[in-house]
Chains A and B, each alone.
Chain A
Amino acid sequence: MADISQQLQEQVLQARAGGEKLNIVGGNTKAFIGREPSAEAGTLNVGEHTGIVDYHPVELVMTVRAGTPLADIETVLAEQGQALHFEPPHFGPESTIGGTLACNLSGPARPWTGSVRDQVLGIRLINGKGEHLRFGGEVMKNVAGYDVSRLQAGALGTLGLITEISLKVMPSPAASMTLVQEMGMDEVLHYMNSRSAEPKPITAACWVDGKVYLRLSGAKSAVEATAEKWSGEVMEAGAEFWRSVQDMQHDFFTGSDEALWRFSVNSTAANPAIEGDWFIDWAGSQRWFRGAGQLSDMEPLARAAGGQVSLFRGGDRSGEVMHSQPNALKTIQQRVKNSFDPDGIFNPGRLYSWM
């Protein structure tokens, strides 16, 4: 529990004065995401900047320093019967909330309860000029000024150092139940989307190894009544299963060193026709592919499915790992980067080679 924001600000100012670059590190559990960290840059460690600044359960809002481990946050929330509804992946006990937002990572519930980006209400950020700025706020609705807080989601720290985050939190569901059944990949996309179109308390839907898993959560009576109507067997170890999906500890993710690709696509699009293993999550919106290949080969497949692809883990990380951007958007993003970090101090080359 320490506020080291002044120290962090000093370090940014020094780097700026000395023409140095900085790689941002929190719990250091997501070093594998993005392009290889720059070898020339120093380290800006936000991992010691921890602690819950403000939490009012009745307001459904928590403000927390960026280096706070997810586990600590979830423990405090659980005492009040609340949770982070976006189910952030823990890549280790040290995984922080700041890194989760910078990488925009959310778990199996994301299509129904929103992503980490969706729950962000405000942030504090040290920009490349060493200014400690505040955007958004601690209230659910706030349209004053541009949404700089949510802009950070997925920016991989390239726009500045997030020091504090205000988040919407939600009550934990009273009951949960998981239904599992065998199904082929050809049927499953239609099935998961049809179920999602019903007004039932579905909060997760994935497919792996020839089985489809649906989770129901909410009021006990609603969960039980829906489980009665829908096909599939009740899975006893449902909670453990979803935990392994959330933390990417399921065998699909841990069983191989092959490159892991993330396709973020139209939930109903036919699956890309390439050989390899697939894990379909988010009722079809997020599809993991394990196998060798080049980003330039994957992109047309993602585009055909209405979305984008990135090299999530492993593979060649010296080239681009994120879906390429059209020129006009590339120009805008370079200018946005310059507006926050004119000297290019933060995480050089981590998101794109050209940023």
Chain B
Amino acid sequence: MTTKPTISKAELAEQLRAFVDADFVITDDETMKPYECDGMSMYCEMPLLVVLPETVTQVQRIMRICHKHGVPVVARGAGTGLSAGAMPNKEGVVLSLAKFNRILNIDPLARTASLQPGVRNLAISEEAAQYGLYYGPDPSSQIACTIGGNVAENSGGVHCLKYGLTVHNLLSVEIVTAEGDVVTVGSDGLDSCGMDLLALLTGSEGLLGVVTEVKVKLLPKPEVAQVVMAGFDSVQKAGDAVGGIISHGIIPGGLEMMDGYAIVAADDFAGAGYPRDAKALLLCEVDGTEEEVHEHIAEAEEVFRKLGATSVRTSQSEEERALLWLGRKSAFPAVGRISPDYYCMDGTIPRRHIAYVLSEMEKMSAEFGLRVANVFHAGDGNLHPLILFDANVPGEFERTEAFGAAILKMCVDVGGCITGEHGVGVEKIRQMAIQFNDEELQQFHDVKAAFDPTGILNPGKAVPALKYCQEYRSLEYKQHKHEHTEAAQHG
């Protein structure tokens, strides 16, 4: 869909400098360098130029110029994404929303916050705390990631099962379209008339519009939260215990699982006092009123003991609760300490397959010769296998990618999906061809064209061009067949 831009870098820069502060139209390689990748640093590209507007009108004018000249536009927040969704296009502009960093209004009675897209996720809850309110979705990167990026990725966090994803916590977004129009989608009411464009925009990875304002719902901060930690001598038992809690009618605020590898790494890092000999650990947080938490914590402890927990410990203070979570929350850096590099996957599976999926992963780990640690949003089935590798060893990243691809294929095979919360971006674009057929992918392309007829917004991301899909699928097929043949020979 995209053709070569009809404007040179120098001309484009000059046109942008006519209305954007010249210091914030960046064209030199050295200053542009930090924009070459997002949190997925294995995928890099230098952009044509970087622009940091500070008003919506400026964003509109930038979009109109780029639309007119067929210049790709990659919108960018804090750049914490984990699928290379904000990786620049070498012929395009990186549109940084970093200057849109103001909280415009908090309405404590209506329980809403109006935000510019560059406001950090955690800053919303910090500001709302004075009213006893907070913002629900809490991705691990919440200290740095921005609400605009959260909308683009439909970010989750550890509290999704009970409090939902970004899409469940939005009232409206203002976007600038590819053609430079400003539109507000949604309203202060909970449901708007007609097709739900707000849902369509959420998680669209910057392919449908540039978010310039966001209105979110705020929640009353629960009176109490307590966490029960339970260790198990098998993953199967821990998986059954997750089901046990849910069957009991308890919806925990957070329900996380870690495997043996992750337990030791996190405990070494955070000194959380995890049972280091356990094969699986559950952290089950219950929040609500004092009475409710008291009732549910007692029930949760009993369920875990009945289902074979080898250790059960319940936080008795805020400090203890924070400590128990610290291990889980620092699992990524903890694993980072025991390996030069790690690659974080993001598949989602129906929970009942957790034991099978983890044991298959162990086999694959041996086959690929790469270690893997698992942290798992057990409540909602979202896996985060961390594949440990060394980028300085030739061929090791390629092997890591292949291992990752095999994991995602397995997720789809058991009825899950290739990405729960990190997005497709560049990274998982091949796997889209496993989850969707050509007709479905074409429907996505047609939806994209409805918003962006000339295809300038984040081209090449999220939805693969159909001409490559057959190739991806046959590659997967060959690999799969190869594995089967090997297995048959070994078997």
Shortest CB-to-CB span from A334 to chain B, Å, is: 8
| B-chain residues with CB within 8 Å of residue A340 when the two chains form the complex | 443, 446
Cα distance, A322 to B243, chains bound together (Å) = 43
| A-chain residues with CB within 8 Å of residue B431 when the two chains form the complex | 144
Report the interface size for chain A: residues with CB under 8 A from the other chain.
91
Which of B289, B382, B418 lies at the interface centre, i.e. has the most chain A CB atoms within 10 A of its CB?
Answer: B289
Is the CB of B267 closer than 8 A to any CB of chain A? no
- Pair B348/A140 contact, Cβ less than 8 Å: yes
- Pair B450/A336 contact, Cβ less than 8 Å: yes
| B-chain residues with CB within 8 Å of residue A265 when the two chains form the complex | 187-189
- Pair B200/A154 contact, Cβ less than 8 Å: no
- Pair B348/A141 contact, Cβ less than 8 Å: yes
Cα distance, A30 to B187, chains bound together (Å) = 25
Cα distance, A332 to B198, chains bound together (Å) = 13
| B-chain residues with CB within 8 Å of residue A110 when the two chains form the complex | 190-191
Report the interface size for chain B: residues with CB under 8 A from the other chain.
96
Interface residues of A in 160-205 (CB under 8 A from B): 170-172, 174, 190, 193-194, 196-201
Mark the stretch among B4-12, B164-172, B275-283 that contacts chain A: B164-172
**How would residues 117 to 134 of chain A score, 1 for a CB under 8 Å from any chain B CB and 0 otherwise?**
110000000010001011
- Pair B423/A143 contact, Cβ less than 8 Å: yes
| B-chain residues with CB within 8 Å of residue A266 when the two chains form the complex | 110, 188-189
Mark the stretch among A36-44, A55-63, A230-238, A253-261 that contacts chain B: A55-63
Is the CB of B416 closer than 8 A to any CB of chain A? yes
| A-chain residues with CB within 8 Å of residue B76 when the two chains form the complex | none
Shortest CB-to-CB span from B5 to chain A, Å, is: 24
Is the CB of B428 closer than 8 A to any CB of chain A? yes
Cα distance, A61 to B439, chains bound together (Å) = 26
**The one of A117, A170, A196, A329 that contacts B196, using a Cβ cutoff of 8 Å:** A117
**How would residues 243 to 279 of chain A score, 1 for a CB under 8 Å from any chain B CB and 0 otherwise?**
0000000000000000000011111110000000000
Cα distance, A143 to B446, chains bound together (Å) = 18
- Pair B168/A338 contact, Cβ less than 8 Å: no
Cα distance, A335 to B443, chains bound together (Å) = 12
Residue of B nearest to A194 (CB): B109
Is the CB of B338 closer than 8 A to any CB of chain A? no
Report the number of A-B residue pairs with Cβ-Cβ less than 8 Å: 286
Mark the stretch among A8-16, A68-76, A89-97, A218-226 that contacts chain B: A218-226
Indicate whether A218 sits within 8 Å of B449 (C-beta atoms), given known contacts A115-B191, A155-B194, A333-B195: no
- Pair A140/B380 contact, Cβ less than 8 Å: yes
Is the CB of B133 closer than 8 A to any CB of chain A? yes
Shortest CB-to-CB span from B294 to chain A, Å, is: 7
Question: 11 A-B contacts, Cβ less than 8 Å apart?
Answer: A139-B382, A140-B379, A145-B435, A145-B444, A151-B200, A154-B196, A174-B249, A190-B109, A199-B223, A329-B183, A332-B197
User: Residues of B at under 8 Å CB distance from A?
Assistant: 107-111, 131-133, 153-154, 156, 160-161, 164-165, 167-168, 177, 179, 181-183, 185, 187-197, 199-200, 202-204, 208, 220-223, 243, 246-247, 249-251, 288-292, 294-296, 348-352, 377, 379-382, 415-424, 428, 431-432, 435-436, 439-440, 443-444, 446-451, 453, 462-463
User: Residues of A at under 8 Å CB distance from B?
Assistant: 56-61, 81, 104, 106, 110-111, 114-115, 117-118, 127, 131, 133-135, 137-148, 150-155, 158-159, 170-172, 174, 190, 193-194, 196-201, 218-222, 224-226, 263-269, 282, 285-286, 305-308, 310, 322-323, 325-326, 328-329, 332-333, 335-336, 338-340, 351-352
